[in-house]
Structure 1
């Protein structure tokens, strides 16, 4: 029987912009769906050792990869949008200039075929760390009238994909099926006993709360992975006996509207970090051979 425990990680002690300042190229802020660097660092440090291989099948600007190489791990990522893939490569090169000792590679492609994209890495990864898309656009950056003195709300950098073939554009059933394909491919790249970590949170669609973490647990089982743990990664800060709010403008706006209607809606203050493992190799089975693929800093194919 697998013992499941719940932990709380204080990964929001610094705002996300502060966590990225100087460590990532400034244009990285244009991506509206970035993983929090503190979450990536904590996951990699907890579930891998120096020299291990870390994979992110939907790597965006390369947060997982950058934090991995800074920790002396090697990293491989796949990103559907070529523009973001190029930025991930640039961020890896930036990390190397800052003294990162690990090597990373990025491929532009559809992660639903990740096992075909990275065949030389089969059975080698210690960790897969990723997050499913929440849609083709998010809240991005906001300037409200109270800040600018101008009427209305101005938004920018809220869209990371206009390609209708991107999985982020699909309805929930198709999105989940695609994510199941991605996890199945990633399982082929994991070594026996390797870890899959997925950061995910519920979201609202037309006012209804969608339990995306619950859906991810189901598709992970379809991919042959075993649920091992659920960790709460705080997006808010903790200090002086109180929580330091880091909720977005729109989260607070929707929460206030809900309370006005008599609905006790609260702003999200955490990410669910779901931990899965690849079952250990059955006794008597042949060991996996090491692949011949070598990682170099800043590759893109």
Structure 2
């Protein structure tokens, strides 16, 4: 697939996240609460880069962007604020190399607002920046019911990004967007002429109200000097015989059920927006 034939809807949810990662990532990776689908990363990297190109993820989590890049023969650099997850990124890259991945990757632990300094030797070299913003300090995480039949209390696990108050995930949405804009501006310094920024993001609910987070990310990116060229849909659901196969989490479905009981139609999220941007200074 190349950029010229990139579809407006990407069938990236045909397999569940855990199936896409099985054997390709170290087992401990599943405890990260906000992972990018490997199929989204691989399709974007294939569309906008060539073997040997450099891919950057300033908020790399457990390293999905880096792993998919090195498996595709690209090189990668990632930054992650949480030392625990940065360690998982390094483990996943090492695992990919042991499986025959030909690309090289490096990961740094720290605040991505400093990425252009930390990776100063890479300025002007990246073909692609691929990332996703945090969705707040709490996410849906993993759910376990109290009995095999589904009764009893619901237990949540792996639903927090961080306990460090300095992490952007702890900030209110305006402060989060401000910090994300600073990160995008610094990443722009790493892009080569014609480089691309790709962001995966979905709407969120805050106190029960739907928030157009993709729209806010677009405004933030444009304020950072980027220009939106494509707004695509990357499916989180599967497709079987013309039907959608639901991949929504327990809490997404619970929210939909509760609103339906109140007579308010609410749909579970079935896709992520995939925003494709270029620099607005003529380098694209």
TM-score class, shorter: over 0.9
2:228 paired with 1:227: yes
For residue 255 of structure 1, what is the aligned residue in structure 2? 256
For residue 86 of structure 1, what is the aligned residue in structure 2? 87
For residue 42 of structure 1, what is the aligned residue in structure 2? 43
User: 2-side partners of 1:281 and 1:122: how far apart?
Assistant: 17
User: 2-side partners of 1:90 and 1:191: how far apart?
Assistant: 28
User: 1-side partners of 2:80 and 2:106: how far apart?
Assistant: 11
For residue 272 of structure 2, what is the aligned residue in structure 1? 271
User: 1-side partners of 2:159 and 2:28: how far apart?
Assistant: 14
**1:136, CA displacement in angstroms?**
1.4
**1:146, CA displacement in angstroms?**
6.4
Instruction: Please list every run of at least 4 consecutive aligned residues from structure 1 whose deviation after the TM superposition is greater than 6 angstroms.
Output: none
User: 2-side partners of 1:116 and 1:148: how far apart?
Assistant: 53
Aligned residues: 278
TM-score (normalised: structure 1): 0.90
- Equivalent positions of 1:143-292 (< 5 A) are 143-145=144-146, 147=148, 149-279=150-280, 281=282
Give the direction of change, closer, same or farther, for the CA distance of 1:229–1:256 in structure 2 (3 Å limit): same
For residue 114 of structure 1, what is the aligned residue in structure 2? 115
**1:160, CA displacement in angstroms?**
2.3
Give the direction of change, closer, same or farther, for the CA distance of 1:260–1:44 in structure 2 (3 Å limit): same
CA contact (8 A) 2:139 2:160 kept: yes
CA contact (8 A) 1:231 1:272 kept: yes
User: 2-side partners of 1:138 and 1:255: how far apart?
Assistant: 16
TM-score (normalised: structure 2): 0.95
For residue 141 of structure 2, what is the aligned residue in structure 1? 140
User: 1-side partners of 2:277 and 2:147: how far apart?
Assistant: 44
For residue 60 of structure 2, what is the aligned residue in structure 1? 59
User: 1-side partners of 2:13 and 2:220: how far apart?
Assistant: 28
Give the direction of change, closer, same or farther, for the CA distance of 1:202–1:233 in structure 2 (3 Å limit): same
Where relative contact order (Cα < 8 A, 6+ residues apart) is larger, the structure is 1
CA contact (8 A) 1:193 1:280 kept: no
Give the direction of change, closer, same or farther, for the CA distance of 1:195–1:147 in structure 2 (3 Å limit): farther
**1:279, CA displacement in angstroms?**
3.8
CA contact (8 A) 1:6 1:230 kept: no
CA RMSD of the aligned region, Å? Answer: 1.4
**1:147, CA displacement in angstroms?**
4.0
> What's the CA shift string for 1:128-178, capped at 9, x where partnerless?
000000011211111235645551111111112110000000001100000
Helix, strand or coil for the counterpart of 2:275?
Answer: strand
**1:64, CA displacement in angstroms?**
0.2
Helix, strand or coil for the counterpart of 2:8?
Answer: strand
Helix, strand or coil for the counterpart of 1:195?
Answer: strand
CA contact (8 A) 1:6 1:229 kept: no
User: 2-side partners of 1:107 and 1:91: how far apart?
Assistant: 14
User: 1-side partners of 2:158 and 2:39: how far apart?
Assistant: 22
